[in-house]
Structure 1
């Protein structure tokens, strides 16, 4: 600031809105929508051709809720869900919300090590699980860990006799008792725990309330212009906020239709679902859109119904955004930025933003939310145009990490600002660019991976003396994992294939390093800290990744 001039404009913005926040619980809000438009289609599961109107969805949700009640579950009890995208996932999501049970999302890619941790850390009383998915034998894995999970009383396998019994029991349930339970819930009650990979080797459970996720889904949908005419194709996983909040809650709060194209992402199944169901909106992380655009039969699918959609979860390449607009007809596509801990969305581009803004920024602050960019050292807000750490505050900030107040205090400050760990720049009009991360988190195809967790695991390999894991650029996934390892004396070498063999079955596939570089020393600072920035630069050179590094992102 010069002595005569005005102070620089600070990198702060608040989302002014004439549309009030919803004061409902998730159950009450679903009932409201179902009463207003009982005959509108609510849910379509394309692989099984099952369909629900809003009246039918409400009925089936109530039946599952009463089944859970009769199984002895109620407000505050934790119910785990371990399954790919399927209608039953959605039924359990809303049924638990109706009775105030806390839904714990378990990543379908988890293996025994991670499953056992989450079951115990959340104190899950009932686990609702698919029988299997892809190469995962869920039933077998549950049997392996069940004896070491004392809180786990009941396991219900979807499609199995336990599920049938739960539903049958619910059909004979007491509707007045359900209504009483539902009426006794507060929008501020915790209703969902989502695990994010932990920087200290284990995931942390971001605990979210009705108020957090109901409103975030509602405003994401409003900014996409959703009405009862909209049909949203949701190939992104339900266990993420992207699927269950921006997808499911985005639809039910705005009266739109949820379309499940497949259990897991499949580009052809997604294109087929959009064409067959005349979807108006399509979600995905950049890798999904790339796979769809590059599908050999892309041109044979009629995508003319598409109007909007969301690309999020990973840095969005500018060229991909342009192709989504030009070749898929998603002229109103938006980019969202957020994190699980903020329910998730904090900023979003708008349909009326210029094409340049919509393909090269993560948009402006969301309604009823505040954002600021601060100097990571001083905590002071930096002037617009200057890089710093992005912080966000408002209704969307989580209640905290489940039973980890110390970890919560590291992320949420005394004024309730959530520190994202992301570096950002805010321009003069309030649009944000994400320029990097303070933390070392790697985002691989929309999955958050913390190097520390992988490093801790690699230390258990008999040949590894020390390990450092970084993210390196990748054209398909945005980033891939690269492990630099120091080997024990006498060990000749270690290949990526050998590491993959060692990790398979113990770590989720997306956490297994694609590249392994054997070194004698790590680059260090004078104070003895590993220089990961330098490691990244050298890895790009050694692995010949210059083309991937050159991809421009929003």
Structure 2
């Protein structure tokens, strides 16, 4: 029972959870809105009605059966936003195949780790994206997989071209797909998403049909999505933001999904909103700022917009005002969550005032519970800072093949410990006061210093390294690496940047380097990262004046 003075809140029980698999929910929507527009992929110049999308999904699911994919197999997908990403997402879900999301910015060592840790048997990948040659990286790794599928029209011989899958699928009876789909249940794992680990290596958050289907549904309910809505999704599909809040939010409501490009481009996103008469738009604050400040924004008629979600970082009040007035998004909402909670656990409402939308992350989502606790595990009073915890349908099954990490994150009572510091007010609105460890959020991407520090330790010249985040107007935060070299060794900034280029994702690469003989420490020998932040901010300020 809720105690009014305690930081505990139970979300509304008015909305019923969906007791179905992703495949069942997709089929229901496709039947209900068969001739409605389901998907628009502007950079590929493709459009699908729900009927056409369902036919394509089923054909490719049958092709996966022809290749021998079994329930519980892991299928990696390493590609930017495209029609094939969504087709893989739904087709694999219909077979009980677990989709492993791989960040398109990953380099060889990161790809190698994820494929091995998840035990991937299959990989679907693009030929290339931006500066990444996916085929070359896969060929260099020679991963132990049962099959490779390429989205490229003429891939190397060891890859099956995506274009051949239709013929493969045509040879498998539809009854075989229906039989497999009917054998699945809602609590089976359907997705593994890697979240940068505080202990150095990413952990694979394992999510079920029940987890992510219902989270997409509840987010869509809060936005008031219907089959008349058209949602522009410029955020990456490999994140929960794109594939759950975007794709599954639309699938559960018959809403049209619109991908403006393979990666975020402010001009192409504005163009998609205007030309497709979109009613909703997703993004992190840096994306909205880039669109608002684009020199050609005034050319586009954006008045069809009404709603959307801003997430991934705190939104400055001036940006929120501009989104509401200049982008016509009067019902824009803020969402908070983490991959381990499918992702959203708190969300503002369409009628919350602007103050609530910039100072809080909203209230507890329907069918979930949140509480804020002290170090001893006791629920704190309202207004008191403590650790935010979430419990309910959205909490992951666990970290893939990592029982110890799972036990550290989810307690015996089923509470997911977020590691974020927060307060809860009398109305149940939650304000995030600080973050787990020293996590950096750069342009909506989570970067854990420990993971980066362990990476830099592999450089032959580096004796010690400390990674910190400092404020940045464009990305919210930027990464600074403090480095101490081994005696007799040295490397300059250019050499370190070049070394990072083919080994780690671009968003993890430090923007600034500082070479030191020692780090600021307490008398007991503990590193003072707060002092390092102060020094870095001051030195960069002096350089810019």
The partner residue of 1:135 within 114, 131, 134 is 131
Q: How far does the alpha carbon of each residue in 1:248-285 deviate from its partner, in whole angstroms, 9 at most, with x for none?
A: 00000011000000000000010000001011000001
**Correspondence 1:532 to 2:529:** yes
**Correspondence 1:34 to 2:27:** no
**Correspondence 1:153 to 2:185:** no
Q: How far does the alpha carbon of each residue in 1:59-96 deviate from its partner, in whole angstroms, 9 at most, with x for none?
A: 11101100001100021000000000000000000000
Q: Cα offset for 1:526?
A: 4.0
- Listed as ranges, the matches of 1:364-443 within 5 Å are 364-375=363-374, 377-443=375-441
In the alignment, what sits opposite 2:444? 446
Distance (whole Å) between structure 1 residues aligned to residue 425 and residue 249 of structure 2? 28
Contact 1:389 1:423 in 2 (8 A): yes
Q: Cα offset for 1:463?
A: 2.3
Contact 1:540 1:546 in 2 (8 A): no
Contact 1:102 1:193 in 2 (8 A): yes
Q: Cα offset for 1:495?
A: 4.2
Paired residue secondary structure (2:538): helix
- Listed as ranges, the matches of 1:152-551 within 5 Å are 152-160=145-153, 162-375=161-374, 377-491=375-489, 494-544=491-541
Q: Cα offset for 1:39?
A: 0.8
Distance (whole Å) between structure 1 residues aligned to residue 167 and residue 16 of structure 2? 40
In the alignment, what sits opposite 1:101? 97
Contact 2:30 2:51 in 1 (8 A): yes
Contact 1:236 1:284 in 2 (8 A): yes
Distance (whole Å) between structure 1 residues aligned to residue 229 and residue 528 of structure 2? 49
Contact 1:195 1:204 in 2 (8 A): yes
Over 3 Å counting, the alpha-carbon distance change for 1:318 and 1:486 in structure 2 is: same
Q: Cα offset for 1:8?
A: 7.3
Q: Cα offset for 1:30?
A: 0.3
Paired residue secondary structure (1:168): helix
Paired residue secondary structure (1:61): helix
Q: How far does the alpha carbon of each residue in 1:297-328 deviate from its partner, in whole angstroms, 9 at most, with x for none?
A: 01111111100010001222222111111110
Distance (whole Å) between structure 2 residues aligned to residue 532 and residue 158 of structure 1? 44
Distance (whole Å) between structure 2 residues aligned to residue 123 and residue 233 of structure 1? 34
Total equivalences in the alignment:
536
Distance (whole Å) between structure 1 residues aligned to residue 449 and residue 354 of structure 2? 35
TM-score w.r.t. the length of structure 1 is 0.95
Distance (whole Å) between structure 2 residues aligned to residue 491 and residue 182 of structure 1? 59
Paired residue secondary structure (1:67): helix
Distance (whole Å) between structure 2 residues aligned to residue 155 and residue 293 of structure 1? 41
Q: Cα offset for 1:546?
A: 12
Distance (whole Å) between structure 1 residues aligned to residue 340 and residue 542 of structure 2? 32
Q: How far does the alpha carbon of each residue in 1:436-469 deviate from its partner, in whole angstroms, 9 at most, with x for none?
A: 1131111111111111111111112232210000
TM-score w.r.t. the length of structure 2 is 0.96
In the alignment, what sits opposite 1:53? 49
Q: How far does the alpha carbon of each residue in 1:347-379 deviate from its partner, in whole angstroms, 9 at most, with x for none?
A: 00000111211222111110111111111x211
Distance (whole Å) between structure 2 residues aligned to residue 143 and residue 545 of structure 1? 47
Over 3 Å counting, the alpha-carbon distance change for 1:415 and 1:144 in structure 2 is: same
Over 3 Å counting, the alpha-carbon distance change for 1:8 and 1:232 in structure 2 is: closer
User: Larger deviation: 21-30 or 472-481?
Assistant: 472-481
In the alignment, what sits opposite 2:63? 67
User: Larger deviation: 92-101 or 468-477?
Assistant: 468-477
**Correspondence 1:80 to 2:79:** no
Distance (whole Å) between structure 2 residues aligned to residue 179 and residue 221 of structure 1? 28
Distance (whole Å) between structure 1 residues aligned to residue 109 and residue 141 of structure 2? 8
Distance (whole Å) between structure 2 residues aligned to residue 397 and residue 545 of structure 1? 46
Contact 1:128 1:157 in 2 (8 A): yes
Paired residue secondary structure (2:48): strand
In structure 1, the gaps of 5 or more residues are: 1-6, 548-554
Q: Cα offset for 1:56?
A: 0.9
Contact 1:495 1:516 in 2 (8 A): no
In the alignment, what sits opposite 2:8? 12
In structure 2, the gaps of 5 or more residues are: 154-159
Distance (whole Å) between structure 2 residues aligned to residue 60 and residue 423 of structure 1? 45
In the alignment, what sits opposite 1:3? none
Paired residue secondary structure (1:371): strand
Distance (whole Å) between structure 1 residues aligned to residue 384 and residue 19 of structure 2? 37
